[in-house]
Amino acid sequence: MAGGAREVLTLQLGHFAGFVGAHWWNQQDAALCRPTDAKEPLGELCPDVLYRTGRTLHGQETYTPRLILMDLKGSLSSLKQEGGLYRDKQLDAAIAWQGKLTTHKEEPYPKNPYLQDLLSAEGVLSSDGIWRVKSIPNGRGPPPCTTAATLKPLIPAEGSIRVWSDFLRVHLHPRSICMIQKYNHDGEAGRLEAFGQGESILKEPKYLEELEDRLHFYVEECDYLQGFQILCDLHDGFSGVGAKAAELLQDEYSGRGIITWGLLPGPYCLGEPQKNIYRLLNTAFGLVNLSAHSSLVCPLSLGGSLGLRQEPPVNFPYLRYDAALPFHCSAILATALDTVTVPYRLRSSPVSMVHLANMLNFSGKKVVMAGATIPFPLVPSQTLPDTLMQLGGATPWTPLSACGDPSGTRCFAQSVVLRGLDRACHTSQLTPGTPLPSPLHACATGEEVLAQYLQQQQPRVRSSSHLLLTPCKVVPPYPHLFSSSLSQQGLVLDGPSTGAAVESIPVLGALCSSSSLNQTLGDLAKELARLDLRRWASFMDAGVERDDLEETLQELRSLAQCYQAGDSLMD
């Protein structure tokens, strides 16, 4: 790859993972911008880590995600499984059979109005019916930035979003989408509900060979593959698919990093006991098995609990979101993901996935928790030391791993990223001779400010921190979740609202190995132990033995013990 990028292959497994992934790739797409002037510096993040160059049958160069996604029949809506870049209608008509043909054509799904408008606005469908994309200068990297007037942003109606493909604006390679035809996305019958069902999918030669073929296709074209990131639903049968996929990666690509993001949609629904119990079981089995085969596992959820206990969803002071809408929840989680994954996507001095995992997962601590401040609350008239000082001694981020309130807990190791602040506000702007409000105001660089703040917060913790100028893009189809008290750049206004839509935001994100996981995983084990399995025989019938449950329970308890507050690298 260009510039010796350390490539990452992404796996998206499940429908909520599709929602998070669609927002994630839309945000990557919005950030794709190459300077047209050779004197302009390249961006801080290297898109070649996540993207690959290719060529269509017509010789056009493409730039598509290095991605394998798996979902169920009926989940693609109008998106074609082979994508839209490489398909040739003329080839479709070339049929060798000369006899009589009977064609049975399924009625296509109507395209979401947002995507229709988007395609119309881009104007890239040629007269011969073949999709043509903008060429890539020099055959490498993303399209250049242009100074031409941009089109008015197109905002999808939230009522029109039924599946993740309704708002995905990125073109995928034909090898990306792998459909599981034996289970349905819609309806009450034929659902992928249980961990054992998911495991059995990748025991079938058909699906296993299909996944292996796609892995080999992407891996063999990489020069410096650093590893795999798995976005996996934890609440349904895809937890089993993810566990088997991680096991396959560990067996075939030992030495590569495997970072798994276990995704859970909004809070539990009262009145759906079977779905809630299955969610508990799938989450427990998923966490145990994924942690056994991954370098690092991080649950991601806006809910307050991994178990059955009813907890309100987390709150962000400057966001107004509906926790029942996957379109909203997945956007927030994608924004956090886009920030905490920064270390292994940097253009200069990146931290490899393996190194990041090793820093966080010592002493068997394979599970970490995530947190984020979305947006980071900077007022234009203030500096970074001012804002951090105002946060005081409280944990500066909102927890995003359903681990409850982090106050009073102990952190063992953390990786922190702050992005989207202009360099001018990184350090104190006080007139020389003015008494300094805090030691942070004496720091010479923004990096020093952030590092010293983290040291003050957690004096005996192994910390890694990164400070970036690059903000997080939140242009449509990202939902409008932001308070009217934010500027177009996501800063907190100290005056009247300008009325401009928020287009980018500063974000503080963190991955932490925390003692809060002791209680979170311990509570999960207690709830699992209290279940009367005779009432949930259908879960066991899907391929899980009673011995498997006992083993999972023991592994969960052992995992929880790793996070007892007395255990630390710095002790």
Q: How far is CA 516 from CA 308, 354, 404, 519, 557, in A?
A: 17, 24, 8, 6, 14
> Quick check: helix, strand or coil at residue 403?
coil
pLDDT at 76: 86
Q: Which of 121, 49, 113, 52 is nearest to 348 (CA)?
A: 49
> 400: Cβ–Cβ under 8 A, 6 or more apart, which residues?
300, 301, 302, 314, 333, 336, 369, 370, 371, 372
Q: Are 362 and 569 in contact (CB under 8 A)?
A: yes
What is the distance between the alpha carbons of residues 501 and 337, in angstroms, rounded to a whole number?
22
Query: What DSSP letter does each residue of 133-154 carry, written as one string?
Result: PPP-GGGSSSPBP--SPPPPPP
Q: Are 357 and 229 in contact (CB under 8 A)?
A: no
Instruction: Considering only CA atoms, give the Rg of the chain.
Output: 24
pLDDT at 527: 94
Q: Which of 58, 37, 23, 28 is nearest to 135 (CA)?
A: 58
pLDDT at 130: 42
Please give the average pLDDT of every successive group of 10 residues along the chain, which has 571 residues.
79 97 97 59 90 88 96 81 56 46 53 54 42 44 45 66 93 94 78 93 96 97 97 97 98 96 83 86 96 97 87 94 95 98 96 96 92 96 95 88 83 96 94 90 96 92 95 96 95 86 97 94 94 83 87 95 68 40
What is the distance between the alpha carbons of residues 338 and 336, in angstroms, rounded to a whole number?
5
pLDDT at 112: 57
> Quick check: helix, strand or coil at residue 10?
strand
What is the distance between the alpha carbons of residues 197 and 145, in angstroms, rounded to a whole number?
46
pLDDT at 346: 97
pLDDT at 33: 62
pLDDT at 134: 46
Q: Which of 509, 305, 310, 517 is nearest to 409 (CA)?
A: 517
Q: Which of 264, 211, 208, 206 is nearest to 234 (CA)?
A: 264
Packed helices 238-252 and 205-220: angle between N→C axes, nearest 10 degrees? 50
